[in-house]
Structure 1
Amino acid sequence: AEYRIGVGDKLDVRVFQVEDLSFEELVVDTSGNINMPLIGAVQGAGRTASEMASDIAGRLAARFLRDPQVTVTVKEAANQKITVDGAVTKPGVYEMRGSTSLLQAVAMAEGPTRVADLTKVAVFRSIDGRRSVALFDLSAIRQGRASDPQVLGDDVIVVDTSRLNSALREIVGALPAFAAFAYF
């Protein structure tokens, strides 16, 4: 999935051959917008860079430029938090910058413990306002037999252990397949 712009992200906005409308660094404000000359506030939060570029180009084309070519690039993502729990050395809430993979997230928590079951690593995520979970095999990812998925801000990663609570074990056990998010 393409990265969704968030509050505090730093964006590079370029309008081809129009220096006065090109900016190396615009910060998405707390209301989720950036401000540009001529067109004013442009919604950024919750959108992809290409969606935002299309919006800016459309607004410029409507009144000011003929067929503007606009690119939006996320230069720096604001700090986002993920929770890593279960059988890891240092469970807790961690800040991530930019894209972070599942392996990197577990490494932030100083890796799995000796009692960790690496074949059952659950990633909990909110998708369209509903809580969902996907199960991943971290040992297969480490061996290169499976792809290393990206984790997103507000994800909760739980590395399974024999002491995992029974409610979570039932949810994880009911999943139809690995690496696919399912609602519960």
Structure 2
Amino acid sequence: MPATTLPLLARRRIASLATLSVAAWLVGCASPAANLPPLPSEAPGPYRLGAGDQLRVSVFNDPRLTGEFRVTDTGNVALPLVGSIAVAGRTAQESERLVERAMRDKSLFNDPSVAIEVLEYRPVFVLGMVERGGQTPYRPGMTVLSAVAVMGGFNYRAVTDEVGITRIGENGRAVEYRGERLSLLQPGDVVTVYERRL
């Protein structure tokens, strides 16, 4: 083999090894959320009640039936004299109509008027590379960044541009999505802040 060929072959091997090293480094630096499906963009709509929500149910002209009630893990709210009403997945307005119908069916009122207000939303959970993991009450308009801020912020090992967001779908199954700092959260979401790979 001519002497002039050796340096060219050596340079090609070094270049190939360098390319492989950079590719391996890039794979190692990729966020663990990279392979997750993106969080679906949903048009803002009316809030739907779920297990853990604290409600104030007001029955006009009868303070005995007015009070604060929590939606149970089965998605029901138990009201005095009325019984258990399935409200999970329904809006407050839809739930008001259900309660009014139940009152008419039980002959409690001829023309009942009910108002339902959410006093406390079910929480959002933040796990992983944050200063203090745990749960925080949901607030309308809450983003990943605002939820992490309540938990003391990202810690020094955190991937800060992508997170995992686990959400319960309408079919009742949990799905993990890829979210970003400004992704809007929903009550009950679980945010996972991943550790940066060095």
TM range (shorter): 0.5 to 0.7
1:159 aligns with 2:185: no
Q: Which residue matches 2:93?
A: 50
Q: Deviations over 1:5-47 (max 9, x none)?
A: 324x43221233x22464142344676432233x333334554
Distance 1:47 1:36 in 2: 20
Choose which of 87, 91, 113 in structure 1 pairs with 2:155: 113
Q: Are positions 1:34 and 2:78 aligned together?
A: yes
Which one has the bigger strand percentage? Answer: 1
**Residue equivalent to 2:49:** 4
Matched position secondary structure for 1:118 = coil
Q: Return the alpha-carbon distance in structure 1 between the equivalents of residues 190 and 56 of structure 2.
A: 30
Counterpart check, 1:69 vs 2:113: yes
> How far 1:60 moved relative to its partner?
2.3
Q: 2:130 aligns with which of 82, 88, 96?
A: 88
- 2:185 corresponds to which residue? 150
Which residue of the other structure, out of 167, 174, 186, is the alignment partner of 1:125? 167
Name structure 2 gaps, 5 residues minimum: 1-44
| Percent of aligned pairs with the same amino acid | 25
State the one-letter code of the partner of 2:193.
V
Query: Per-residue displacement from partner, 1:90-149 (whole Å, max 9, x unpaired)?
Result: 4x3x122243542232123321234544332221223123332333331xx3xxxxxx51
Structure 1 residues 136 and 5, CA gap change in structure 2 (3 angstroms)? closer
**CA-based RMSD:** 3.2
1:82–1:152 Cα contact (<8 Å) kept: no
Q: How many residues align?
A: 148
Unaligned runs of 5+ in 1: 142-147, 165-184
1:59 aligns with 2:102: yes
Q: Report the CA distance shift for 1:75/1:84 in structure 2 as closer, same or farther (over 3 A).
A: same
**TM-score, length-scaled by structure 2:** 0.57
Greater fraction of residues in helix: 2
Kindly indicate whether the alpha-carbon contact (under 8 Å) linking 2:65 and 2:79 is maintained by their aligned counterparts in 1. no
* Cα distance in 2 between the residues matched to 1:40 and 1:158: 38
C-alpha change, 1:58 and 1:11, in structure 2 (3 Å) is same
Name the counterpart of 1:104. 146
Please name the residue that 1:136 is paired with: 179
The structure-2 alpha-carbon separation of the partners of 1:51 and 1:109, relative to structure 1 and needing over 3 Å to count, comes to: same
> How many Å separate the matches in 1 of 2:68 and 2:102?
20
8 Å contact kept, 2:56–2:118? yes
Q: State the alpha-carbon separation in 1 of the partners of residues 193 and 143 from structure 2.
A: 15
Structure 2 residue matching 1:73: 3-state secondary structure: strand
Tell me the equivalent position of 2:66.
Answer: 23
Indicate how the Cα distance of structure 1 residues 101 and 3 shifts in structure 2: closer, same or farther if over 3 A, else same: farther
